[in-house]
Amino acid sequence: NAGVTQTPKFQVLKTGQSMTLQCAQDMNHEYMSWYRQDPGMGLRLIHYSVGAGITDQGEVPNGYNVSRSTTEDFPLRLLSAAPSQTSVYFCASSYSRDNKNIQYFGAGTRLSVL
């Protein structure tokens, strides 16, 4: 069972470069989201989607774009990378059970922007 798959696992970018972090889930979950995790800051929500074709901003959306053309895929685009975007990025998918959303996370992408 693949669950939530993120690629790449590691990436180094130069300031100003753009790239896309890939996220795919095979559990047919409605909800998907992107978080960044920085030391001492916890997980912060970047963007999320409640279904194909529907996306919305989270707590820290600036500098990132998302799209959700299928239930399975939720890529995160960095438009022009900045050193402040150096972080660990986690994609998650979730489903609702008893009014509770249970989150399943990918293994993460470690991004360094020089």
- Structure tokens belonging to residue 1: 């069972």
Strand (E) positions, 8-81? Answer: 10-13, 19-25, 31-38, 42-51, 54-57, 64-66, 76-78
Rule CB under 8 A: say whether 79 interacts with other proteins.
no
Rule CB under 8 A: say whether 108 interacts with other proteins.
yes
Rule CB under 8 A: say whether 61 interacts with other proteins.
no
Instruction: Please say whether the beta carbons of 67 and 51 come within 8 A.
Output: no
- Binder among 16, 18, 26, 107 for other proteins (CB under 8 A): 107
Instruction: Please say whether the beta carbons of 71 and 59 come within 8 A.
Output: no
- Binder among 31, 34, 64, 74 for other proteins (CB under 8 A): 31
Closest among 78, 82, 76, 79 to 113, alpha carbons compared: 82
93: left (phi over 0), alpha (psi -120 to 50) or beta: beta
Rule CB under 8 A: say whether 64 interacts with other proteins.
no
Interface region with other proteins, contact rule CB under 8 A, candidates 17-25, 61-69, 70-78, 100-108: 100-108
Rule CB under 8 A: say whether 75 interacts with other proteins.
no
Interface region with other proteins, contact rule CB under 8 A, candidates 16-24, 33-41, 64-72, 76-84: 33-41
Which residues lie near other proteins (CB under 8 A)? 31, 35, 40-45, 48, 50, 58, 90, 94, 99-108
